[in-house]
């Protein structure tokens, strides 16, 4: 019984992460319901603290996030990180409203990153609406965030206009010029 119980707990996250993209969300949800009825823990971590069924849903099956929240899934920094990393503004807002997530702390699981820093990185490739949302929800901009953007601009010179646009967004909350020249350690 013990092996079956552990396998059932682990299968829920694996199902949500690895289910073929050709399998419909309805089918995945039906299987997830059966696994939960059989004892799967909606908060079970497998492999690391970052891989929970909710984090898997955020990455691969975002339409199933409300279902898992109804089943009692909890969100922490790993789930917030997954929502930012995968550019899911509606899920960020949902997690913030439900769990009152701290948008200003440095992630314990990640090296010197906070939500704004991660959103700044993602914005280089997917647009700035996540940064705008985080600022609207009360995230603060630090000198590390601005320095990170400056470092990214030097690494991706073709993204200079994008960097200037992000700095303009950040400057709505802070004077980025004063933040940029503070004495902080280089990000890279």
**Is 61 among the domain residues?**
yes
Q: Do 112 and 70 fall into the same domain?
A: no
The pLDDT score that the predictor gives to residue 83 is 93
Q: Do 67 and 127 fall into the same domain?
A: no
**Alpha-carbon gap, residue 94 to 123, rounded angstroms:** 20
Of 38, 56, 35, 37, the residue nearest 46 (C-alpha): 56
Q: Do 59 and 132 fall into the same domain?
A: no
> How high does pLDDT run on average in the chain?
76
Residue 15's pLDDT band (cuts 50, 70, 90): confident
Number of domains making up the chain: 2
Judged against a pLDDT cut of 50, whether residue 169 lies above it is answered with: yes
Q: Do 112 and 165 fall into the same domain?
A: yes
Please state, in angstroms and as integers, the Cα–Cα distance from residue 97 to each residue in 6, 82, 101, 130, 132, following that order: 32, 16, 8, 15, 16
**Alpha-carbon gap, residue 63 to 45, rounded angstroms:** 21
**Is 91 among the domain residues?**
no
Please state, in angstroms and as integers, the Cα–Cα distance from residue 131 to each residue in 17, 43, 114, 124, 176, following that order: 26, 28, 12, 11, 15
Per-residue pLDDT, averaged over 101-108, amounts to 76
Range of the domain at 21: 1-74
**Is 46 among the domain residues?**
yes
Per-residue pLDDT, averaged over 113-128, amounts to 79
Q: What is the CATH number of the domain that holds 11?
A: 1.25.40
Q: Do 66 and 121 fall into the same domain?
A: no
pTM: 0.77
Contact yes or no for 170/176 (Cβ under 8 A):
yes
Sign of CA dihedral 146, 149, 155, 161: negative
Per-residue pLDDT, averaged over 132-142, amounts to 86
Residue 5's pLDDT band (cuts 50, 70, 90): very low
């Amino acid at each position: 019984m013990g092996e079956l119980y552990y396998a059932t707990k682990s299968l829920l996250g694996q199902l949500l992460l690895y289910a073929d993209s050709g399998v419909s969300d309805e089918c995945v949800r039906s299987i997830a319901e059966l696994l939960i009825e059989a004892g799967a823990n909606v908060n079970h971590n497998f492999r690391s603290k970052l891989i929970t069924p909710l984090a898997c849903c955020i990455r691969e099956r975002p339409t199933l996030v409300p279902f898992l929240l109804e089943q009692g899934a909890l969100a922490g920094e790993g789930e917030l990180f997954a929502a930012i990393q995968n550019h899911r503004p509606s899920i960020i807002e949902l997690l913030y409203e439900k769990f009152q997530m701290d948008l200003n702390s440095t992630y314990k699981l990640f090296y010197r990153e906070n939500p704004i820093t991660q959103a700044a990185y993602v914005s280089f490739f997917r647009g700035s609406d996540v940064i705008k949302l985080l600022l609207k929800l009360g995230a603060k901009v630090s000198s590390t965030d601005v320095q990170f953007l400056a470092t990214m601009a030097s690494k991706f010179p073709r993204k200079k206009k994008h960097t200037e646009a992000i700095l303009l967004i950040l400057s709505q909350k802070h004077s980025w010029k004063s933040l940029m020249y503070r004495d902080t350690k280089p990000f890279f």
